[in-house]
Structure 1
């Protein structure tokens, strides 16, 4: 399958489910992405993230002992983390829409409802890596701009220039 993703991307797969981890790694290999590491729980994910930079993390919502949203929030809000701005794609088998919204509010870039296909995985990674949304930092949130469309701002625009999207003035 053709993809615009650079083959040297470093991707961390963080899931306690060994079958899902193997499936994701095999799918990434089919996409030409072979620089992957695997974490079986959130503690191992943090250890691997502290050892080297990664371009992306694919995290299972139910990774344990901390859930994927907590892990994402900790990564995003750590101003000293070298992986703070990496693309984060969350996967989950069954997640209500309000939890999906909570995951976006934690700072994920993209979401995949299982089962996953190579086309869906490639599309989500390309969206998060090749065409990322502006990275926003505030006291309570760090991550991709959650707005998917430009809308006029009512009142004073309090965003710093670094936190403005490409069309904002």
Structure 2
């Protein structure tokens, strides 16, 4: 399968579901990505993130004991974390629209509804990594710009300039 993803991309797969983690790892291998690790719960996510940098995280919202939304929010809001700006792709088989908006507000880059193909996973990873949206840092939000399209602004734009570096306040 052809992809523009760099083969040395390091990906953390975060899901409590062993079958899902195996399936996601197999999809990544089909894409030529072999530098992967699996976390079975939110505590292991933070342990692995403290040990090594990752370019991307694929996270299931039902990871436990913290859900994927809470994990993403903690990752994004930790200004000192070197992984703060990594791509985050959330996977879920059944997520109500309001929870999807909550995930976006936590800072996910992309969303994959399960079941999915390797091609769909690749397109979401490519979108988050090859053509990332600007990284925004605000008092209660850090993550990709939630606007997917440019719209004209009536009046003065009060937002601070967008900074691509996730480490700068």
Residue 85 of structure 1 aligns to a residue in which SS? coil
The separation in 2 between residues aligned to 1:99 and 1:37, in whole angstroms, is: 26
TM-score by length of 1: 0.94
Aligned to 1:109: 109
- Structure 1: which 4+ aligned runs deviate by more than 3 Å? none
Residue 162 of structure 1 aligns to a residue in which SS? coil
The separation in 2 between residues aligned to 1:120 and 1:86, in whole angstroms, is: 19
The separation in 2 between residues aligned to 1:90 and 1:123, in whole angstroms, is: 13
The separation in 2 between residues aligned to 1:51 and 1:133, in whole angstroms, is: 27
Aligned to 2:25: 25
Q: Which runs of 5+ in 1 are unaligned?
A: 165-169
The separation in 2 between residues aligned to 1:2 and 1:57, in whole angstroms, is: 21
Report matched runs for 1:88-127 at 5 Å.
88-127=88-127
The separation in 1 between residues aligned to 2:88 and 2:21, in whole angstroms, is: 15
The separation in 1 between residues aligned to 2:80 and 2:154, in whole angstroms, is: 33
* RMSD, matched Cα: 1.1
Aligned to 2:38: 38
Report matched runs for 1:1-169 at 5 Å.
1-163=1-163
TM-score by length of 2: 0.94
Q: Which runs of 5+ in 2 are unaligned?
A: 165-169
The separation in 1 between residues aligned to 2:100 and 2:163, in whole angstroms, is: 23
Deviation per residue, 1:112-133 (Å, 9 max, x gap): 1100201100000000000000
The separation in 2 between residues aligned to 1:146 and 1:80, in whole angstroms, is: 22
Q: What is the CA-CA distance between 1:163 and the residue it aligns to?
A: 3.9
Q: What is the CA-CA distance between 1:162 and the residue it aligns to?
A: 3.3
